[in-house]
Amino acid sequence: MFWYIIHRLLLLPLTLLAIVFVNFLIINLAPGEPVYVSEIGVAGDASRHSTVSMVGPEDRYLQFREFFGLTLPIIYNDWPSSSKRKIIQQLERLRLKDETYKSHDISAKKNAELRIKMSDESRFVLPQLLSIAKDPTISFDIQKLAVYFFLRGATRFRTIGATLSQEERKENEEIAKNNFFLDSYRERPPKTPEELSQQVEIFSNWYKEHPQGLSFAQDGPQYLKTAFFETRLAKYLKRTLSLDFGVTRTDPNRTVISEVISRLRISLTLSVLPMIVTVVLCLLFGMLMAVYSKSFFDSSFNLLFLILWATPVFVVAPFLIEKVALHHDYPFTSLPFPIRGFSSEAGIYNSLTSWQRILDIARHITLPLITIFLGSMAIQTRLSRAVFLDCLGQDYVRTARAKGVKPLQLYCRHVGMNAAIPIVTSVAGSLGLIIGGSVIIETIFEIHGFGKFFYDAILNRDYNVMMFSSLMGSFLALIGYLVADLCYMALDPRVQLGAKHGT
C-alpha cells in the first residue's frame, strides 16, 4: 500500500500538468478576451461591453493585455522569424483598411483589432520594421506605419504591484525613461521622407543601445528559447510552479489566492456539511428501503425521493423562502429566518462572541443547507437503495443468515460495508466540486461564496480565476479518488492496493 500511495502521488503532478494544459488551451482558444465584461440587464437580457477602449489611445488597452500576458502567442512563438515581405503585406492590408475605414466608415472595432494584432507582433520584429522604414523603394505610407509599429513594439510597460523588488523598481525607471523618449516621437509623426529618414536613424541607434527585452534572434538556440518560452503557456506555467496564480482582472492589487481564501470557508461549509450528512443518512435510508423492499415504507420514501430528485434547487429555494422564511420564525426563538448572506452584517457580526457567531452563521445557512441537502439526499439514497438490494441478493448474505448472524450485524457489517463502496466512489468524485460551491444557491441567497465568484469569472473571462479553479478542482478530485482507494481497502479486506500487480 505504501508504494501504491507513493506511485499515485508521483503521478499527481503529471496529471495536473496535463489537465492545466488542456484547460489552458480551451480557455485561450475560446473567442473573446478579458477586456469584455458580461452584464445581465434588469429585463434579463445579457450584454457584453469593453472595460478598456480599443479605439483612440491604445496605451491603456495594450497595458491591460500585456499585464495579463495576452500579447503573446498561446503555445509557439514564431513571430521573430517573420520575413520582411510578410510584414509589408500586413502593413499593406492595414493601410488599405485605414483608407476603407476613413472613406466608408466601416466598423471602428475591426480596424482597431487589426492594429492590435500587428502591435502584438511588432515587439518581436523590430529589426524588420526598421529595415522597412529605411527602404526607399517602399511607399512613404508603409514606411510611416513601420515607424508607428516600431514605436509601439519598443514601448514596454512597467511592472505593477505593491511589493516590488529593488531590481524591478530600477527596471521600471529605465522603462519609464525609454517610453518618454519614444512617446516624444509618437506625438509628432514624420511628415516628409527626409524627416522620416532622420527619425529612423535615431531609432536605429537607440535600438542598438537598448536591446534588453527587445532583441529576439531569428534562428539558433535563442530563437528556440523565444519560440517556446515567450508564450502564454510558458509564462503561466512558470508562475504556477512558483505558486503565483496571478491577480483578478478587476483589481491588480487583489490576488486570486487571497480572494479564494476569503470565500473558502463559505464554499466548504455549503459543500462539506451536506456531503457528510448525506452519506450517513443515505446509507441509513437506503438500507431500510432495501430491507423493507416493496413495502409501504419503501414505496412512499421511493416516491418522495423521486420527487425531490426531480425538483431543481431553483424551485426548492424560493419555495423555502416563501413558505418558511417569510411566515415563520427560527425554531425555539423569536428571530426571523435570514434569507440572504452567510452571516449578519459586519457591524453586528463583529460585536458577537465566538459562540454567538457560530449560531448566527448556523441561522443564516439553515435554508441554503436544506436546499442543497434535499437534492443530494434524493440522488444518493436511490443509489444506496439499489446497491443494498444487490448486496442482499448475494450468496454471502444467505450464508450469513444460515449461520444465524444477527440482523443488525448482518446489515451493518456484512451488507453495509460492501454497499458503502459505490457511495464512497460517488462522494470521492464530488470532492472536486467543493471549490466551486453552489452557484444557484449563492445567487438566490446572496451568499458571497466561491461559486458565484467563479461564475462571474467565467462570464468576464477572468483567466487567472478560471485556471486556478480548474486546477484546484482537479487536485481535490484526484485526492478524493486516492482517499476512495484507501477506503476500499478498509471496507473490503480482499482489496490489496498494488500488492501483486503493482497497480
State the CATH class of domain 256-491: mainly alpha
> 255: closest CA among 271, 239, 268, 241?
239
Tell me the three state secondary structure of residue 231. coil
- Record the pTM: 0.74
Q: What is the DSSP letter of 338?
A: P
Q: HEC states along 286-332?
A: HHHHHHCCCCHHHHHHHHHHHHHHHCCHHHHHHHHHHHHHCCCECCC
Tell me the domain boundaries of the chain.
13-241, 256-491
- Rounded to a whole number, what is the distance in angstroms from the first to the last CA of the chain? 10
As a dihedral over the C-alpha atoms of residue 318, residue 324, residue 327, residue 333, rounded to 10 degrees, the angle is -140
Residues 6+ apart with CB under 8 A from 11: none
Helix (H, G, I), strand (E, B) or coil at 341: coil
Task: Provide the residue type at 64 as one letter.
Answer: F
Let me know: does 334 contact 315? Beta carbons within 8 Å: no
37 Cβ neighbours under 8 A, 6+ residues apart: 48, 49, 50, 51, 459, 460
Q: Is 100 helix (H, G, I), strand (E, B) or coil?
A: helix
How crowded is residue 287: how many other Cβ atoms within 10 Å of its Cβ?
21
Check residue 44 and give its pLDDT: 46
Grid coordinates representing 356 are 454567538
Distances in whole angstroms, Cα of residue 91 to Cα of each of 121, 447, 448, 481? 12, 51, 48, 54
Q: Return the closest-CA partner of residue 238 out of 57, 20, 427, 7.
A: 20
Q: What is the pLDDT of residues 213-254, one digit of tens each?
A: 788 877 788 888 889 988 999 988 888 888 888 888 877 778
The parts of the chain modelled with pLDDT lower than 50 are: 42-46, 51-57, 101, 103-106, 501-503
> CB–CB of 343/361 below 8 Å?
yes
Q: Which helix (H) or strand (E) holds 446?
A: none
